[in-house]
Chains A and B, each alone.
Chain A
Amino acid sequence: MKKFLGIALSALLIAGLMGGCGAKANENEIKIGINYELSGAVATYGQSSVDGILMAIDEINAAGGINGKTIVPVKSDNKSEPAEATTLANKLMTQDKVIAILGPATSGSFKAEIPVAEKNKVPVITGSATADDVTVDLVDGQVQYNDDGSVKGLKEYAFRICFSDSYQGSAMAAFAAENLSAKKAVIIKDTSSDYGKGLAANFLSTFMEKGGEVVAEEAYVSGNTDFNGILTKIKGMEFDVIYIPGYYQEAGLIIKQARAQGITDPILGADGFDSPTLVELAGADALNDVYYTNHYSSLDEDPMVVKFIADYTAKYGKEPDAFNALGYDLAKFVCDGLSRCETLDSESLKNALASTENFTGVTGSFSVDEKHNPVKSIVVIGLKNGEQDSSVKVSA
């Protein structure tokens, strides 16, 4: 029995090795790695992004691909863990020899992937990593420049197609001060993510600049479920709005518990609110007077957006959310770069992406700036009974 097991195991091992050799590059294919959160804490972001990406790739392949070559996505799951994202990026670049990697969706995992990209000289592009220092190193939150005017500490191979947290936090502070005429705000932030801390800091500084006052700053960590202590405390204070920079898992519970305690003031958030799970957790009744900054709104009447919504609904049987739209734009953006490449390799793709001008997508049209960020507008979505009710375009 033991002998048989030994033979079987070695056969498996050899088969595995042969399989590795057998994966030969096909001349008529362009491989793009997909490194997303398909399971784990923020699985809905990853799954939504990938749905959008695959739809865009299908469309491009159906229209003849890039110069007659088919795009082949190599899909992998980083389980919402930065360490896993790094390992996968290494595998995709060195074994699968992909030309570029899309994802991960969150800033922490995407940042973990960048050193691998720089080492292998393969571009990585994300649709939704919004932290300020994703594509460039910051000193005290400020971009530094070299003597020749180029950006210091630029991550040469990292790109994104979404706005940054400072922009998002400032835009929401401006919206609160101007559109909601808020004077006093409470911040309840997720201190276990770069995302929550970055948003909170930028909301705070812009809100103060606009003459507002932050009366309390409370904190929680991802995985908390009981916020009654914090909410009872702030209930006794005077304030006009609550800002919750965090993800839907906790934000949903905070909104539910706040409304149950009788706190009826407007609640503000960021793109982390954008998930159908938010409605399930908070309950539709609690989601009134809730506003969040987002990349895109399905209420948009632009013909391109209308067509995207119709196509997406036909393909997946549900309305697309912002992560679907960003995923879709992300794949289109990279393919736009590929079509402008002189030679089909990672290096010229990087140069093509960096020189993108006036790319038009469903989340708005943009050019890529010197910091590898897009220059685009932001949408504030208002919820009524859990449904999107209003959308306002703002800029910080």
Chain B
Amino acid sequence: MEQFLQQLINGLSLGSIYALIALGYTMVYGIIKLINFAHCDVYMIGAYVGYACMTYFHLGLLPSMLIAMAACTLLGMAIEKIAYKPLRNATRIAVLITALGVSMFLEYGTMFFVKAEVRAYPSMTGWMAQSFQVGGVNISMLQVIIMAVTVILMILLQFIVKRTRVGRAMRAVSLDKDAAELMGINVNSTISFTFALGSALAGAAGVLVGVYYNSINPLMGMLPGIKAFVAAVFGGIGLIPGAMVGGYAIGMIETMVDGYGNSLYKDAVVFAILILILIVKPAGLLGKNTREKV
């Protein structure tokens, strides 16, 4: 039982990271039907910005995270403006390939500047380095921070999407872009805002991964990027609660396979479950089956 609870905590902290990244995928998909492959590299850049803040300017976790989020916001908006906006009316495949290009550009461009080798985040000191026992379960402060930050950011995101004017605009654009434009919504700035929001979350995830795992490199986005994308599809792509559920589910499945199955087949099991879900519910766990309008 203790071991199960411990694995639960492990799974939740891993799932939090996937959920934060998955939100960015799902929001962008929801609004312009684009799988933004560059998203996982925004996460990587976030980790590097946080690293720079902590190593060279000796800032604490919170200021570093806020700076990384701000930097990623700008980066996300820039990517949208430079790479995707000129292709707004192009075929979907053209935009998809552009997204792959942007992803490669960010990965190898970063590698040029920071070199390929792994860098270690400065280790946490004081209360953040502590861990405590609850009924035989070992929880580190960093795990608590990751889970708490994720929950806070999700509540904030829900508030923005459901309760603010710009959130209502986002929902309107994702429902029907042309109708939204006729209603006087500025579609371009709404899309730009969506990228900003998703990228800020990815930036936060980058810094959290940096402090938690202590290891960053220019290609660190690839694997979590794929997993987060799977999480978004798993929960129902385009749906914000779907990305949250999907992220936690994937993190939990991975940890449980490690813990009770065979660690060798971890990734195989994750993708097998994805395929099963998509066969049974093609629109994802929380998705509604909608008919394609012809």
Contact = CB atoms under 8 A, between A and B. Distances in A.
Given A191-B264, A219-B264, A236-B3, A225 B131 contact: no
Interface string B226-256: 0000000000000000000000000000111
Interface of A: 39-41, 43-44, 79-80, 191, 218-221, 223-226, 228-230, 232-233, 235-236, 249, 252-253, 256, 260-262, 277, 280-281, 283
25 contacts: A43-B115, A43-B117, A191-B264, A219-B264, A221-B267, A225-B215, A226-B10, A226-B14, A228-B10, A228-B14, A229-B254, A229-B255, A229-B258, A229-B263, A232-B3, A232-B6, A232-B259, A236-B3, A253-B213, A256-B214, A260-B131, A277-B118, A280-B120, A281-B118, A281-B120
B116 interface: yes
A232 B131 contact: no
Interface string B1-24: 001001100110110000000000
Interface residues of B: mostly helix, strand, loop or mixed? helix
Interface in B76-127: 111, 115-120, 123
Nearest to A41: B116
B138 interface: yes
B272 interface: no
B107 to A, nearest CB: 12
Interface residues of B, number: 37
Interface in B1-51: 3, 6-7, 10-11, 13-14
Contacts of A249: 118, 215
A39 B7 contact: no
A262 B138 CA distance: 9
Contacts of A260: 131, 140
A39 B264 CA distance: 28
B138 A261 contact: yes
Given A233-B259, A252-B215, A277-B120, A225 B138 contact: no
B7 A229 contact: yes
Contacts of A226: 10, 14, 213, 254-255
B260 interface: yes
A277 B216 CA distance: 12
Given A219-B263, A233-B3, A277-B120, A225 B115 contact: no
Contact of A230 (B14, B120, B138, B263): B263
A62 to B, nearest CB: 30
B71 interface: no
Contacts of A236: 3
